[in-house]
Homo-oligomer: A and B are copies of this chain.
Amino acid sequence: VSNARRDLDKPRWLTKKQQAAWRELLGVVIWLPAVLDAQLQRDADISHFEYQVLAMLSTAPERTTHMHELAVRTNSSASRLSHAVARLEKQGWISRAPAPENGRYIRATLTDSGMAKVVDSAPGHVAAVRRNVFDHLSTKQVAQLEEIARTIRNVVAPHTE
């Protein structure tokens, strides 16, 4: 009964200030990925999702990660990742092989060509992040943003540490 009681105590709607903040946050959540996607598509001919996969592998030990972990960390279904990696493999940027220690894991490895692709496209992407986000925020706001974003991310994706 305490749970139901607590739920009833909660407001059914958002306050004015929350509505205003939500309106702006929703704008960021919708438009920022669109802008970053457009930059990568135009300058590197890859999607933001594909870039994330390549970038994640580029910083992993031996440039290698299990498909399962890759899927979790990019918020991708296994199926979506499988299709995407198949495309990236066809481009020669990734290779796949069963893990030696456990044959039901598949290890995805970034090839030299794939590493070159990341090195090539990263500066433009980072510049876009700066241009669209950090160039306009004070040091104090960056700290506030980190705290607020971490709080939300811990709720919506607690497993991404």
With a cutoff of 8 Å between Cβ atoms, the chain B residues found around residue A12 in the complex are: 123, 126-127
Closest to A160 in B: B27
Q: Are B28 and A149 in contact (CB under 8 A)?
A: yes
- Check: A60 CB closer than 8 A to any chain B CB: no
Closest to A24 in B: B149
A33 to B24, CA, bound (A): 14
Q: Are B129 and A14 in contact (CB under 8 A)?
A: yes
With a cutoff of 8 Å between Cβ atoms, the chain B residues found around residue A141 in the complex are: 144, 147-148, 151
A148 to B24, CA, bound (A): 9
- Check: A97 CB closer than 8 A to any chain B CB: no
Closest to A129 in B: B22
Cβ-defined partner of A27 (8 Å) among B21, B127, B142, B149: B149
- Check: A20 CB closer than 8 A to any chain B CB: yes
Query: Which A residues are within 8 Å of any B CB, using their own CB?
Result: 10-14, 17-18, 20-22, 24-25, 27-35, 74-75, 123, 126-127, 129-137, 139, 141-153, 155-157, 160
